[in-house]
Chain A
Amino acid sequence: MSAVKMALEAIRDKKGRSFLTMLGVIIGVGAVLILVTVVNGMNADIEAYYEKIGVNKVSVDINYKNRTGSADISEDLIAYVNGELGDMTAGITPDDSMTGTLRYYGAANDTATIYLGNEQWSACNNYTLNKGRDLTKMDMDNRSLVCVIGSYVAESLFGYIDPLGQSIAINGTQYTVVGTYYGKDGTAEGSLDDVVVIPYTRSRAISQSSTVTSFTVKVNTAEEVDAVISSLDYWLSEEVDSSTEYELTNLNAQMTEAEGETTSLSLILAGVASIALIVGGIGIMNIMLVTVTERTREIGIKKAVGAKRSVIITQFLVEASVLSGIGGLLGILIGYSGSLVIGKALYDLILLPDFGYTAAAFLFSIVIGVGFGLYPAVKASGLQPVEALRAD
């Protein structure tokens, strides 16, 4: 009879005790898998968010301390990016925003974000035109009273009415809707679909400030982001006067940083959960020591009829490993069910533990069995047959 089969029978003979012994490993493996999966869910959430707002973006924030004396560099900045950095960038747009109220007859929306952008705003921020047209250079030059609206604004103000050509009041000024964007964030209130974009050249009229302070530069590839940032840094340091400060933010790095934080968190949590596994291992060692005592006579018989030490060690190691391995499998089951439930509840996603983590957790549970089973197994194998045979 193979050692594994014998181990399974021994476990079956003492189901209740075996289950209680496995509990530590079950909880440990389950907890590790759930925690790691939840953190992966958080990362997926972060990635999805950055995917929506668009990756490979650099935000430029300019702080004109001397508002009256400093020259507005907006046009020069736009020209510089589209000109000198044109090979590396897909566009640049002013990106100042404000909140306000949008009205269309009886309907009102006071959650929308009002952006002051240019004709490249949608490209820079990952919006796709659904109907009508986007803002144009001419809109900028003419300071046209036009806007393009996100899918939630369209839904909240117009319902089934076609918004194109309709006039909406943005903070009291009438703008004609010339286009709509496809929804990309669930078409929900306060989401990335709850937006309206108007020509940035209308900033003085709408926000009492003619100077644009935020810009978004869309870089072609992630590899070029650093080069664009250093070029912009050099250019800005030359262009702005001493009283003006500026800040360049790599949004990719921001995403990586956010993911890094959750990964650190996952490591800490997995470490805590691993303690449960270690405790489970100690439980296995404890019960294996009891088993050795209970089966001293059996060990004596086996040694008397010719079993070498290695045979006895193997038998108990296999038994401990099978015990912890089954615990590991049950833990994986709990890890998968728990991940599904938590993923659905927290992120509305079908989250399942990564295969690599699952395999690692299972192997770790086996290693726990071997590690903690070793002492009882060696103890069993060292019993003298004459003395072992005298045991009750």
Chain B
Amino acid sequence: MGLIELKDVYKIYSEGEPGEVRALNGVSLHIDRGEFVAIVGASGSGKSTMMNILGCLDVPTRGEYLLDGVPIGLRSENELAEIRSLQIGFIFQGYNLIPSLNVWQNVALPMTYQGVKPAERFQRAMEALEQMEILDKAYNRISQLSGGQQQRVAIARAIATRSPVILADEPTGALDSKTGGQVLDILKGLNETGTTVILITHDMSIAARAPRLVRLKDGNIIEDTGNAARAAEVGG
């Protein structure tokens, strides 16, 4: 059994109405523990919807999502919050840092919801910031950081949670190619330590560095290099 299992998942907005939108149209996807998967597609292909469903921020209209063998669709709001807190480290497209908190407080925030004690929260936040080479900004306000620095803080926040899955939505979108390359290196490093990384991007040059590529178009998976490899393995 895989870590992530999407079975014939639909996400339909305004279903049955004239303006019906099928963001995901019967998608099935299997991701094993420790994989590094890039999900690519043009704007409107359903990437973000898939990210929201994989991240338990949204639930499918139809179909089944199993995370570590546990069906997500039947979970209560609080149970979903707990799954997000313990299982998933988010790296959002727009960083999504809280301006009223300083850098280390932002990094420590998800650990608060995990129930990590204050001293350990601080220590782990500092370690993550050091890993992201931005420890010197620990007490700065978010508004005092550049885009690249903010992205590092966002990544630090995700890795400090020590979640088994990192979901990164366009993590290099706002960065120059050099910084983008560094971010990718960090994600690959995390993957090498056993973390499952799911990277959502429209940038093919970034996606090309991922061992497995899933391509979405109009809410359907039109290419999955991982599945092909596995099929070959199974077939061979």
Contact = CB atoms under 8 A, between A and B. Distances in A.
Interface stretch (B28-36, B52-60, B131-139, B194-202): B52-60
Contacts of A9: 100
A389 interface: yes
A359 to B, nearest CB: 32
Given A304-B55, A305-B113, A386-B57, A298 B98 contact: yes
B100 A298 contact: yes
A304 B90 contact: yes
Contacts, number: 61
Interface string A1-44: 10000100110010000000000000000000000000000000
B58 A386 contact: yes
Contact of A308 (B78, B86, B92): B78
Contacts of A349: none
A272 interface: no
A305 B90 contact: yes
Contact of A311 (B86, B98, B113): B113
Interface string A311-332: 1000000000000000000000
A26 to B, nearest CB: 25
Contacts of B109: 302, 305
Nearest to A300: B96
- The number of chain B residues touching the other chain, given as a range, is 20 to 34
Contacts of A6: 100
A84 B97 CA distance: 91
The dominant DSSP class at the B interface is: helix
Task: Point out which of A297, A298, A307, A308 has the most chain B C-beta atoms below 10 A from its C-beta.
Answer: A308
A310 B110 CA distance: 15
B99 to A, nearest CB: 8
B110 A305 contact: yes
Contact of B84 (A13, A305, A310, A389): A305
A79 B38 CA distance: 114
B81 A308 contact: yes
A267 to B, nearest CB: 43
A309 interface: yes
A374 B187 CA distance: 42
B77 interface: yes
B96 A303 contact: no
A386 B105 CA distance: 23
B81 A307 contact: yes
A306 B98 contact: no
B192 interface: no
Contact of A306 (B77, B101, B105, B114): B114
A385 B113 contact: no
A301 interface: yes
B57 A385 contact: yes
A301 B57 contact: no
Contact of B110 (A298, A306, A308, A309): A306
Interface in B78-114: 78, 81-82, 84-86, 90, 92, 96-98, 100-101, 105, 109-110, 113-114
A1 B109 CA distance: 9
A303 B84 CA distance: 9
Interface string B103-147: 001000110011000000000000000000000000000000000
B100 A386 contact: no
Nearest to B115: A306
A306 B86 CA distance: 8
Contact of A309 (B58, B77, B96, B101): B77
29 contacts: A1-B105, A9-B100, A300-B96, A302-B98, A302-B113, A303-B81, A304-B55, A304-B57, A304-B90, A304-B96, A305-B90, A305-B109, A305-B110, A305-B157, A306-B81, A306-B84, A306-B85, A306-B110, A306-B113, A307-B113, A308-B77, A308-B78, A308-B81, A308-B82, A309-B77, A310-B78, A384-B58, A386-B58, A389-B57
Interface of A: 1, 6, 9-10, 13, 297-298, 300-311, 384-386, 389
Question: Nearest 6 A-B pairs (CB), nearest first?
Answer: A306-B85, A306-B113, A305-B110, A308-B81, A301-B96, A308-B78
